[in-house]
Amino acid sequence: MIPKTHPRYRSLVTREHLATCAKTGIVSLEGLTAHGRGEAFDYLLGEASTPSALRAEKIAAALLLSARHPVISVNGNTAALAAEAIAALQQASGSIVEVNLFHRTEERIDSITRLLEKHGVKVLSGEVSRFIPLDHDRGLCHHDGMYSADVILVPLEDGDRAEALIKMGKTVIAIDLNPLSRTTRTCTLPVIDEVTRAIPHITRFCKEITEEEIPDILSNYTGTEFIRDALEYIRRKLQDVLD
């Protein structure tokens, strides 16, 4: 039992939860190490959404709302951390939710789908094919999901697949705490924030912004400005410690 008074209570509870999810197969062992990398960057970013991340989250909402065929791609870590938040975002944005795993087995697809459904997510089912030009099971997706999507939200995505989706002409919104990852650098819009903070923010913006505001929100951004903001935030934080 983790004492509530522990200064890192939230982080320890999350780790315990992910470890339990690894035992049931929802989270892969590799997913646990990926979480550790995320935690390190979250520490450097102050464990809070920066103003720049909030701006990216508002743009993400506008992109999902104006999409013809928006899709949210969910992996094991995202399902374990944010199933309920995904249900709310699906409702607010009208997105299709598809389960996509790097370490793919039918058992994991089934258990992640069940977990999401338990929290109210409608999960796309049916056949998958290698529509994404990648070797290995990472290339598998649904015809009516990611293959037909114009805008795809990928929390915690592998850099290779983010790049392949961009090459297919998709608008890719990534949620990734690492401002230096290939995913962050190749996607259309990097949301450099923790997934359990980012998704509820995007949901709130989906409810708040009006159709008239969308062109203005989408008119003037580049992915690199968010990378620069995050790195500058970290640099200033480190400088404060050194001064």
Binding site for Mg ion (CB under 5 A): 159, 181, 183
Residues 6+ apart with CB under 8 A from 119: 83, 84, 86, 87
Toward Mg ion, which CB reaches closer, 171 or 183? Answer: 183
What residues line the site for ligand ATP (CB under 6 A)?
34-35, 37-38, 41, 77, 81, 156, 158-159, 175-178, 181-183, 194-195
In the structure encoding, which two tokens stand for residue 7, read together?
A: 């200064």
Minimum Å distance from CB 241 to ligand ATP? 21
Please provide the DSSP assignment of 177-237 as one string. Answer: S-TTSHHHHHSSEEE-S-HHHHHHHHHHHHHH--GGGHHHHHSS--HHHHHHHHHHHHHHH
Q: How far is the CB of 216 from ligand ATP (least distance, A)?
A: 28
As measured in angstroms, the least distance from the Cβ of 153 to ligand ATP is: 12
What tokens appear for 218 in the block?
Answer: 């989408």
Question: Which of 28, 111 has the CB closer to Mg ion?
Answer: 28
At residue 79, what are phi and psi to the nearest 5 degrees? -65, -40
Nearest to Mg ion by Cβ — which residue?
Answer: 183
Known binding residue 182? Answer is yes
Closest residue by Cα to residue 116 from 185, 240, 177, 26: 26
Nearer to ligand ATP, 109 or 177 (CB): 177
Q: In what order do the strands lie in the sheet with 96-99?
A: 96-99, 70-74, 151-155, 171-175, 189-191
The DSSP H or E segment spanning 71 is strand 70-74
CB 176 to Mg ion: min, Å: 6
88's tokens: 């709310």
DSSP per position, 149-169: -SEEEEET--HHHHHHHHHTT
| 176 in a labelled binding site | yes
Looking at the Cβ atoms of 122 and 228, the one nearer to ligand ATP is 228
Backbone dihedral region of 175: left (phi > 0), alpha (psi from -120 to 50 degrees) or beta? Answer: beta
* Shortest spacing between CB 157 and Mg ion, in angstroms: 5
Nearer to ligand ATP, 90 or 178 (CB): 178
| Residue 177: contacted member of ligand ATP, Mg ion, none (CB under 5 to 8 Å, by partner type) | ligand ATP
Considering the complex, state which of residue 111 and residue 171 has its C-beta at the smaller distance from Mg ion.
171
Q: Do the annotations mark residue 54 as ligand-binding? A: no
* Shortest distance in whole angstroms from residue 81 CB to ligand ATP: 6
Please tell me whether 178 is known to bind a ligand.
Answer: yes
Q: Is 55 annotated as a binding residue?
A: no
Q: Which residues are annotated as a binding site?
A: 15, 37, 176-178, 182-183
Q: Which residues are annotated as a binding site for ATP?
A: 15, 37, 176-178, 182-183
